[in-house]
Amino acid sequence: MKTRDKIIYTSLELFNEHGERNITTNHIAAHLGISPGNLYYHFRNKEDIIRSIFALYHDHLESGFQPYEGEPISIELLINYFDAMFYAMWEFRFMYANLSDILSRDEELKKLYLAAQKQVLTRSSQILIKLNQDGVLSIEQDEIIPLTETMKMIVSFWIGYKQIHSIDTRITKTSLYEGLLRLLMIAKAYSTPDSRATFVRLEQHYRRLAASPTAQSV
């Protein structure tokens, strides 16, 4: 792996572990065993690193929330979507935890973030529309956008919510699965008689994951 990439992944790891505010560029360099000068050879400044991490995050969202096409709807397909959400929340959890702080210091990044969120909203609502058409969900036309927004809001703040509501600040996979289960609960409310069983099975799937020992460690 190239040093540039090592810096990105090490930063991501340290940010996730300790919070972006507590990790200095010197920490990152020391953790990698390189000089601060070298870090600044690869990145103009700390913001530059964060933006590169954001690009990674953006790529993931881009590929994970494509409306499905030409394939029959299946439980695996739904699992894909929820897994993509989980991956985003877990792999970039520092962003969810410190978002307003980070964005308030980087106007440029904020614009990128807003654009990305707009896209996510569009994509997600398209998926819901498709699921509606395919008889998996039954949502009134004018409730699709608000519902998408609500779900996005829950995803956005679940980590912050969890961090505030437990003594231990560390984020576990279990707590993220709990967040997914909340989303599922909401979605299930719009399920059709045909799809209800599918949602029940989805719930069981993620409840199992939430309870698994590795998910409970940090």
Partner DNA sequence: TATGAATGAGGTTTCATTCAT
Partner DNA sequence: AATGAATGAAACCTCATTCAT
Site for DNA, rule CB under 7 A: 2-3, 22, 24-26, 33-38, 40-42, 44-47
Q: For residue 217, which phi and psi values (nearest 5 degrees)?
A: -80, 175
40 binds, among DNA, a second copy, none (CB under 5 to 8 A by kind): DNA
- Binding partner of residue 133 among DNA, a second copy, none, CB cut-off 5 to 8 Å per kind: none
Binding at 42: pick from DNA, a second copy, none (beta carbon under 5-8 Å per type): DNA
Residue in 61, 192, 201, 196 with CA at minimum distance from that of residue 124: 61
CA 49 remoteness from chain centre: 19
13 binding partner (options a second copy, DNA, none; Cβ < 5 to 8 Å by kind): none
SS3 (DSSP) at 137 = strand
Binding part of the chain for a second copy, among 6-14, 59-67, 150-158, 200-208 by CB under 8 A, reads 150-158
- Residue 28 makes contact with a second copy by CB under 8 A: no
Q: Minimum distance from CB of 199 to DNA (Å)?
A: 45
| Binding site partner of 57, from DNA, a second copy, none, Cβ cut-off 5-8 A by kind | none
Q: Which is nearer to DNA, 38 or 166 (CB)?
A: 38
Cα 195 to Cα 66, 117, 151, 191: the distances in Å are 21, 29, 19, 6
Do residues 93 and 161 make contact, with C-beta atoms less than 8 angstroms apart? Answer: no
Q: Does 40 bind a second copy (CB under 8 A)?
A: no
At closest approach, how far in Å is the CB of 130 from a second copy?
25
- Taking residues 76 to 115 in sequence order and writing x for each that binds a second copy by CB under 8 A, - otherwise, the string is ---------------------xxxxx-xx--x--xx-xx-
Q: State which amino acid sits at residue 117.
A: Q
Contact 195, 136 (CB under 8 A): yes
Separation between Cα atoms, residue 48 and residue 58, nearest integer Å: 15
* Torsion angles phi and psi, residue 191, rounded to 5: -70, 155
